[in-house]
């Protein structure tokens, strides 16, 4: 596996990871725009890295277009407002505070009070969001029959999967679902709960998802397909 840098026309630098694979017949490109930007390439063993990079250069216009359309990362700072779990929240750093808290003020404004040094601000904001999401996921699960409840719940920062269900009963969810509309986040939860009975994507599985979710499941599924990349805009 080799690492190079591809310089976009706007000056942006994208790491390139080249991997040789047994049985591969062609060079393939997989630009990664969720999370950290990267270009992954696979090639046959007998093809040199130089030839692979020449192929990448021949696709420059296409690659530029991919990253031009990708969501840009937003840095969050004291005084910013962000939306998560269908709330618009004002971020407020309180240097002397030892803990973080989220509360609805008398004036109807949700405010997140974040303690600690400025260098820890984003991480602490992220920790609060994760805690709120986990609590909301647990609340949603409690509305379903116990037979669907997982043995354990984990939050991950995945780039290609919004949720997963293991054979041991552990369910994992991308913490970035906090930035999705609540109905969309709820769809992912019901999707994974349905895997407790069907560890596949058969018609029976999709029928189970619909039963758990109720009206609007296709709308939520479609929103995630069309807008999922936008959930990676922060951090």
Give residue-wise pLDDT tens across range 99-145. Answer: 999 999 888 899 999 999 999 999 999 999 999 999 999 999 999 99
Per-residue model confidence (pLDDT) at position 194: 97
> Is the same domain home to 104 and 171?
yes
> Is the same domain home to 41 and 89?
no
pTM to 2 decimal places? 0.77
Per-residue model confidence (pLDDT) at position 230: 86
> Is the same domain home to 51 and 96?
no
Per-residue model confidence (pLDDT) at position 153: 97
> Is the same domain home to 221 and 114?
yes
Give the CATH number, domain containing residue 165. 3.30.2010.10
> Is the same domain home to 112 and 202?
yes
Residue 76 lies in a domain: no
How is the chain classified by DSSP, letter by letter?
A: -EEEEEE-TTS-EEEEEEEE-TT--S-EEEEE-SSS-EEEEEE-TTS-HHHHHHHHHHTHHHHHHHHHHSPPPB---TT-EEEETTEEEEEEE-TT-SS-EEEE-TTS-EEEEE-S-GGGHHHHHHHHHHHHHHHHHHHHHTTS-GGG--SEEEEE--SS-SEEE-TTSEEEEEGGGGGS-HHHHHHHHHHHHHTTT-SS--HHHHHHHHHHH-TTHHHHHHHHHHHGGGGGSB-
> Is the same domain home to 93 and 123?
yes
> Is the same domain home to 146 and 57?
no
Residue 1 has pLDDT above 60, yes or no: no
Q: Of 69, 92, 113, which residue constitutes the final position of a domain?
A: 69
Q: Of 69, 94, 125, which residue constitutes the final position of a domain?
A: 69
Number of domains forming the structure of the chain: 2
Residue 65 belongs to domain spanning: 2-69
Residue 217 has pLDDT above 80, yes or no: yes
Per-residue model confidence (pLDDT) at position 2: 59
> Is the same domain home to 98 and 145?
yes
| Per-residue pLDDT tens over the stretch 51-98 | 999 999 999 999 999 988 887 778 899 999 999 999 999 999 999 888
Residue 74 lies in a domain: no
Looking at per-residue pLDDT, the higher value among 158 and 216 belongs to 216
Looking at per-residue pLDDT, the higher value among 86 and 161 belongs to 86
> Is the same domain home to 30 and 139?
no
């Amino acid at each position: 596996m080799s690492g190079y840098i591809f310089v976009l026309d706007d000056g942006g630098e994208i790491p390139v990871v080249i991997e040789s694979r047994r049985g591969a017949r062609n060079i393939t490109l997989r630009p990664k725009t969720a999370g950290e930007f990267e270009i992954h390439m696979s090639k046959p063993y007998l093809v040199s890295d130089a030839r692979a990079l020449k192929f990448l250069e021949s696709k420059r216009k296409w690659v530029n277009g991919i990253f031009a359309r990708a969501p840009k990362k937003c840095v969050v700072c004291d005084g910013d407002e962000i939306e998560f779990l269908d709330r618009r929240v004002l971020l407020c750093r309180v240097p002397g505070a030892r803990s973080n808290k989220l509360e609805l003020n008398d004036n109807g404004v949700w405010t997140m009070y974040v303690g600690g040094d400025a260098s820890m601000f984003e991480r602490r904001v992220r920790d609060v969001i994760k805690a709120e999401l986990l609590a909301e996921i647990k609340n949603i699960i409690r509305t379903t029959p116990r037979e669907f409840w997982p043995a354990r719940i984990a939050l991950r920062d995945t780039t290609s999967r919004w949720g997963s269900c293991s054979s041991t009963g552990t369910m994992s969810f991308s913490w970035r679902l906090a930035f999705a509309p609540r109905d969309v986040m709820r769809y992912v939860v019901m999707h994974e709960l349905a895997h407790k009975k069907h560890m596949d994507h058969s018609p029976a599985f999709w029928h189970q998802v619909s039963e758990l979710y109720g009206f609007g499941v296709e709308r939520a599924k479609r929103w995630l397909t069309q807008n999922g990349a936008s959930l990676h805009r922060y951090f």
